[in-house]
């Protein structure tokens, strides 16, 4: 799998910016726009990557959904264990 990336799950996605393998996108809105346009046009891009043609409402709905995958709880701190 040349040019492949191991992608993390979507849980807590809104806490993990910047996005993409190189941190090039700062917001979920930018990520949705990136994929709506079909990604980056380069030889390594899969033939399955095509522009999505989402409406502004669909993009907004998708970002809203992604934000629901983040909890309201503060992350659990790692305890300091005795040696």
Q: Is position 74 within any domain? A: no
Q: Per the confidence metrics, is the pTM higher than 0.85? A: no
Say if 59 falls within a structural domain. yes
Residue 72 lies inside a defined structural domain of this protein = no
pLDDT at 5: 75
Residue 1 — very low, low, confident or very high, per pLDDT cuts 50/70/90? Answer: low
23 within a domain of the structure (yes/no): yes
Helices (H), 2-80: 28-36, 56-67
Q: Quick check: is 33 in a domain?
A: yes
In a domain, 7, yes or no: no
- For residue 22, being part of any structural domain is answered with yes
Residue numbers of the domain that contains 55: 13-40+50-67
- For the segment 19-74, what is each residue's pLDDT rounded down to a tens digit? 998 899 999 999 999 999 998 888 888 888 899 999 999 999 999 999 999 988 77
pLDDT digits (tens, 9 = 90+) for 8-17: 889 999 998 9
At residue 77, the pLDDT reads 83
Any idea how long the chain is?
83
Q: How many domains does the chain have?
A: 1
């Amino acid at each position: 799998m040349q040019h492949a990336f191991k992608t993390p799950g979507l849980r807590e996605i809104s806490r993990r910016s910047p996005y993409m393998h190189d941190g090039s996108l700062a917001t979920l809105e930018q990520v949705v726009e990136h994929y709506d346009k079909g990604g980056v046009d380069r030889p390594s891009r899969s033939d399955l990557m095509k522009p999505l043609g989402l409406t502004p409402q669909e993009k907004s709905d998708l970002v809203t959904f992604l934000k629901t995958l983040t909890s309201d709880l503060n992350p659990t701190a790692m305890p300091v264990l005795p040696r």
